[in-house]
Amino acid sequence: MIRLSKVSKYYKAGFPIHDFSYTFENNKKYVISGPSGCGKTTLLRLIAGLDSLDAGEIYRGETLIGKVDYQLHPSKRSIGMVFQKPTLWPHMTVRENIEFGSKVSEVNEIASTLKIHDILDKYPDEISGGESKRVALARMMVLKWRYLLLDEPLTNIDSELKSEIVSFIHRYVEKNNTTLIYVTHHEKEASMIEGKRILF
Binding site for another protein (CB under 8 A): 48, 50, 64, 69-76, 79-81, 83, 85-92, 100-102, 123-125, 127, 129, 132, 139-140, 143
Closest CB to another protein among residues 40, 139: 139
The minimum distance between CB 80 and another protein, in angstroms, equals 6
The minimum distance between CB 124 and another protein, in angstroms, equals 5
Can you tell me the distance from the alpha carbon of 53 to that of 200, in angstroms, rounded to the nearest whole number?
18
The minimum distance between CB 147 and another protein, in angstroms, equals 11
The minimum distance between CB 156 and another protein, in angstroms, equals 8
Closest CB to another protein among residues 29, 139: 139
- Counts for the chain of helices (H) and strands (E), in that order: 6, 10
Instruction: Identify whether the C-beta of residue 33 lies closer than 8 Å to the C-beta of residue 190.
Output: yes
Closest CB to another protein among residues 44, 192: 44
68 to 65, 119, 136, 191, 200: CA distances (angstroms): 11, 43, 30, 35, 23
The minimum distance between CB 51 and another protein, in angstroms, equals 10
Can you tell me the distance from the alpha carbon of 34 to that of 146, in angstroms, rounded to the nearest whole number?
25
Closest CB to another protein among residues 10, 194: 10
Nearest to 125 by CA among 158, 161, 89, 83: 89
Closest CB to another protein among residues 111, 190: 111
Task: Give the dihedral of Cα atoms 31, 48, 170, 38; nearest 10 deg.
Answer: 20
